[in-house]
Structure 1
């Protein structure tokens, strides 16, 4: 584990190191075609990018980050993470590398994985660019050559990619292997198999409707992490009203965001003075009549379940029970929005809309369940297809948050695999097959860095890996558990073909962005 006193100060220390920048400029001083390049940007990119090298791969190290919350002397926060996005977000805003290499965010947003690979590969390409510029090769020539190299790399990936989607058993095995490979959190060591299966079963339930909003993640304090499980249907953190049925079949659901309290005195906290108890009774009767009018409006929609974001008073619930309508109240707005989308229903803001002009939520079954000591309302059998919920258990909120992020990343990768089912083998088995000199030299650093982070002698491993590929063993890669070269097919280490393809493309694009900059205006 590496201790960083402060990410801000560390990056500034590297960036502001005049000797470091002068050495970089001196190396390029003989290149007359690139004198106008802003070398400070160049140096910043390499220096800041090196922060990510030792978090690459499944054995990547954690970081202890400390950053200031404000200008106060003691206003700082300390936490441990190996999340690449978090580290990058703590780099100074004036650091051009953070802006330029933020192209890796496109990789993360699209696939949920591969961000570190993009950054590290881009930095290694920058080092190769430094050598090429020293040989007085024009930047445009470098860009053109690397575009050809990228095309060659993608051709190699195309050649080794496999598609097992026609065989459900093999495809399911591929998905589990990819999930296991994608999980990098140290917290999940020893539990990857369990959580990989949870993610695969969840993604396969979506069938053709690949929308991750249909996979819910609920975090619950208590029990062990290994007790986490997959629940059928969508869970709403709430409970069904008093004296109402706890199980409703063939539900026709009216979803609303309407304040049912017409008593402005209660609502605003005001007071009113009356001179007799009779007038108090008259006020209460008037309030009840207003509630009855609202219930009559709800009855016109011919629904058997009413879900409202606002509160529902006891008398209002009593009226709904008498009419055979189940009520659920106090639903937060994000949840009710998501529920409406899943149930294919509209959210009403007024009862003055004809039932012909709205869509009702529908599902086969609504029931109240217990998870630990908390009550949830479960919706299953929806019109849009299968939905499910991953229920996470742990004794600390920090672990729950990190596992949730890891599961989200894996689900993103799996959703792309469903759409583009081709896979390639992991362990850097494809990187060594690319033989365009400068580009391949940068690619070669990826398995080398992974080996270094694991604690093995990288030169020997990379040499053996090259020999294996030359002899035709294209599926061989690094076995980081044993420190040897092994067949990735037998180890079950797979990666998404589309993800790997985008890593190569994004890294080249990031370097081109830096290379094309010859000034800052």
Structure 2
């Protein structure tokens, strides 16, 4: 946007600026595509690329000191998705205690709930019915109305009728031939007792996100009515058991229908550290999942930006008219990214960027900034990689956003409606 202000100050029409930027964007993307590498045919090399991308993503986050450990966790989790970009199969659980290096990847799915009293704590070959239904109607609850009776026996009869309704509901649930019942809502004592008598494991109050994720992982349906058991698809897994992490008990689902499901268990000293670590892990998982879908990679450390800037500058030299000025401004904007990287590291950005520009002009297109030693180095040797899909989308989205702002002529704001003074009590 700073470059936009400079161009407008030179009396260049916005349409000419936009036309030049579009040509510059196409040239930048073309140059990026020409140097992108695809190692997906070599699984070992591709996994190494994913590790380098994960390390690069974690370098600016709280997990930088343990980036090798967490990069390995994230790569293993994403590879379990087998090319899918839906991260529902990867769960992140945070538990206070121990060090961040004690975080680990758990096979299967973990549910942060407890199994009911007097129920089996371990079930093999589980057949799971997942529901979102009220299981607390064993007490009289008629809101907004009154129930008038002439004796306490009538109240007892009402409660008995409610219990019979609940017993019928539990019987319908058991007709589904399930040995595990998971409900999003509460399960009161009476239905809990009925399930325990039948040897069925009942898990209550699983939050909505947990139920949705669980249904997807187990391959089952979420049901609210139980009249057609033949049309309901039960979730299945090889083993359900209760485990302890730190001081908390969780329910572990092993051998789930969606075999790629897994859980990253984060450990840390404070809740703030765990929250920041979760955000960092989520960023890495998003980048890696997109890289698996589009396996091409490019080089980081400002290398890709300088490569695109060089190609755009060469295009500006060949373009006649005022469009060349707009194209050159696009190249200057791209060079700002390595400048910002050097400034943030506390180095002399002018010298480093000038050296980097000279290196790219001489054909060293993989050179970038080494902020450990304050010099320019070959990014191939350092293993600083980035996702091609992400880098391309950043360039395109930034150009579109700048173009959209440039097309705005005026901003019209409606003034707030004046309030009339309340004179009712005067």
TM-score w.r.t. structure 2 length?
0.85
C-alpha distance 320-131 of structure 1, shift in aligned 2 (>3 A): closer
Deviation at 1:184, TM superposition (A): 4.7
**For residue 402 of structure 1, what is the aligned residue in structure 2?**
276
**For residue 420 of structure 2, what is the aligned residue in structure 1?**
none
**For residue 121 of structure 2, what is the aligned residue in structure 1?**
246
Question: Does the alignment pair 1:152 with 2:60?
Answer: no
Deviation at 1:481, TM superposition (A): 0.8
**For residue 112 of structure 2, what is the aligned residue in structure 1?**
237
C-alpha distance 258-515 of structure 1, shift in aligned 2 (>3 A): closer
The 10-residue stretch of structure 1 (227-236 or 180-189) with the greater mean CA deviation from structure 2: 180-189
Deviation at 1:272, TM superposition (A): 9.4
**CA RMSD in angstroms, aligned pairs only:** 2.5
**For residue 198 of structure 1, what is the aligned residue in structure 2?**
73
Following superposition of structure 1 onto structure 2, how do residues 445-456 of structure 1 map, counting pairs within 5 Å? 445-456=336-347
Deviations 1:454-482 (A, max 9, x none): 11111111121122212221111000111
**For residue 402 of structure 2, what is the aligned residue in structure 1?**
511
- 1:304 and 1:209 map into 2 onto residues whose CA distance is 31
Query: Which of the numbers 197, 208, 224 marks the counterpart of 1:333?
Result: 208
Deviations 1:434-453 (A, max 9, x none): 33232222211111121111
Question: Does the alignment pair 1:345 with 2:220?
Answer: yes
Following superposition of structure 1 onto structure 2, how do residues 158-197 of structure 1 map, counting pairs within 5 Å? 158-197=33-72
Deviation at 1:203, TM superposition (A): 0.7
Deviations 1:1-20 (A, max 9, x none): xxxxxxxxxxxxxxxxxxxx
C-alpha distance 285-490 of structure 1, shift in aligned 2 (>3 A): same
Query: Which of the numbers 221, 231, 247 marks the counterpart of 1:373?
Result: 247
Deviations 1:148-182 (A, max 9, x none): 11111111101110011111111111111111111
- 1:426 and 1:380 map into 2 onto residues whose CA distance is 39
Following superposition of structure 1 onto structure 2, how do residues 372-521 of structure 1 map, counting pairs within 5 Å? 372-433=246-307, 434-435=309-310, 436=313, 437-521=328-412
Provide the aligned length of Structure 1 versus Structure 2. 394
Whether contact under 8 Å (2:138, 2:190) holds in the other structure is no
C-alpha distance 325-141 of structure 1, shift in aligned 2 (>3 A): same
Secondary structure of the equivalent of 1:481? coil
C-alpha distance 274-400 of structure 1, shift in aligned 2 (>3 A): farther
Secondary structure of the equivalent of 1:265? coil
Query: Which of the numbers 304, 308, 311 marks the counterpart of 2:186?
Result: 311
Whether contact under 8 Å (1:254, 1:307) holds in the other structure is yes
Secondary structure of the equivalent of 1:430? helix
Whether contact under 8 Å (1:265, 1:271) holds in the other structure is no
- 1:488 and 1:457 map into 2 onto residues whose CA distance is 20
Query: Which of the numbers 101, 111, 127 marks the counterpart of 1:226?
Result: 101
Following superposition of structure 1 onto structure 2, how do residues 250-265 of structure 1 map, counting pairs within 5 Å? 250-265=125-140
C-alpha distance 356-449 of structure 1, shift in aligned 2 (>3 A): same
- 2:142 and 2:282 map into 1 onto residues whose CA distance is 41
The 10-residue stretch of structure 1 (260-269 or 313-322) with the greater mean CA deviation from structure 2: 260-269
Whether contact under 8 Å (1:261, 1:267) holds in the other structure is no
Whether contact under 8 Å (1:180, 1:193) holds in the other structure is yes
Unmatched segments (≥5 aa) in structure 1: 1-125
**For residue 71 of structure 1, what is the aligned residue in structure 2?**
none
Secondary structure of the equivalent of 1:264? coil
Question: Does the alignment pair 1:297 with 2:172?
Answer: yes
Deviation at 1:515, TM superposition (A): 1.9
Deviation at 1:292, TM superposition (A): 3.6
- 2:105 and 2:189 map into 1 onto residues whose CA distance is 35
The 10-residue stretch of structure 1 (280-289 or 481-490) with the greater mean CA deviation from structure 2: 280-289
Whether contact under 8 Å (2:130, 2:234) holds in the other structure is yes
Secondary structure of the equivalent of 2:116? coil
**For residue 323 of structure 2, what is the aligned residue in structure 1?**
none
Secondary structure of the equivalent of 1:331? coil
- 1:389 and 1:267 map into 2 onto residues whose CA distance is 42
Whether contact under 8 Å (2:52, 2:383) holds in the other structure is yes
Unmatched segments (≥5 aa) in structure 2: 314-327, 413-426
Secondary structure of the equivalent of 1:474? coil
Deviation at 1:316, TM superposition (A): 3.1
Whether contact under 8 Å (1:206, 1:386) holds in the other structure is yes
Whether contact under 8 Å (1:185, 1:406) holds in the other structure is no
- 1:204 and 1:189 map into 2 onto residues whose CA distance is 22
C-alpha distance 438-287 of structure 1, shift in aligned 2 (>3 A): closer
